[in-house]
Chains A and B, each alone.
Chain A
Amino acid sequence: DTEVTQTPKHLVMGMTNKKSLKCEQHMGHRAMYWYKQKAKKPPELMFVYSYEKLSINESVPSRFSPECPNSSLLNLHLHALQPEDSALYLCASSQEVSGQETQYFGPGTRLLVL
Chain B
Amino acid sequence: SQQGEEDPQALSIQEGENATMNCSYKTSINNLQWYRQNSGRGLVHLILIRSNEREKHSGRLRVTLDTSKKSSSLLITASRAADTASYFCATAVKAAGNKLTFGGGTRVLVKP
Specify which chain B residues have a CB less than 8 angstroms from the CB of A41 in the assembled complex: 104-105
Quote the shortest CB–CB distance from B111 to chain A (angstroms).
Answer: 20
* B25 CB-CB contact with A under 8 Å: no
Bound-state CA distance A103–B42 (Å) is 11
Contact B43 A105 (CB under 8 A): yes
Chain B 25-46 interface 0/1 with A at a Cβ cutoff of 8 Å (1 = within):
0000011010100001111110
Contact A42 B99 (CB under 8 A): no
Bound-state CA distance A103–B92 (Å) is 11
* B100 CB-CB contact with A under 8 Å: yes
CB-CB contacts below 8 Å: A38-64 with B: 40-45, 48, 55-56
Contact B98 A97 (CB under 8 A): yes
Specify which chain A residues have a CB less than 8 angstroms from the CB of B68 in the assembled complex: none
Contact A106 B100 (CB under 8 A): no
Quote the shortest CB–CB distance from A40 to chain B (angstroms).
Answer: 8
Bound-state CA distance A48–B100 (Å) is 11
Bound-state CA distance A48–B45 (Å) is 18
Specify which chain B residues have a CB less than 8 angstroms from the CB of A97 in the assembled complex: 97-99
Contacts A42-B2, A99-B30, A100-B30 hold; do A107 and B101 have CB atoms under 8 A apart?
no
Contact B88 A105 (CB under 8 A): no
A55 (CB) vs chain B CBs: closest residue: B97
* A66 CB-CB contact with B under 8 Å: no
Specify which chain A residues have a CB less than 8 angstroms from the CB of B104 in the assembled complex: 41-42
New contact pairs (13) apart from A99-B30, A99-B98, CB-CB < 8 Å: A42-B102, A42-B105, A55-B97, A56-B97, A90-B42, A97-B97, A97-B98, A99-B92, A99-B93, A100-B30, A100-B98, A103-B45, A107-B41
User: Measuring CB to CB, which residues of chain B are less than 8 angstroms from any residue of chain A?
Assistant: 2, 30-31, 33, 35, 40-45, 48, 50, 88, 92-94, 97-105, 107
Top-6 shortest CB links A-B: A99-B98, A42-B102, A99-B92, A105-B42, A105-B43, A102-B45
12 A-B residue pairs with CB within 8 Å: A42-B88, A44-B102, A56-B99, A90-B42, A97-B97, A99-B98, A99-B99, A100-B30, A100-B50, A102-B45, A103-B100, A108-B41
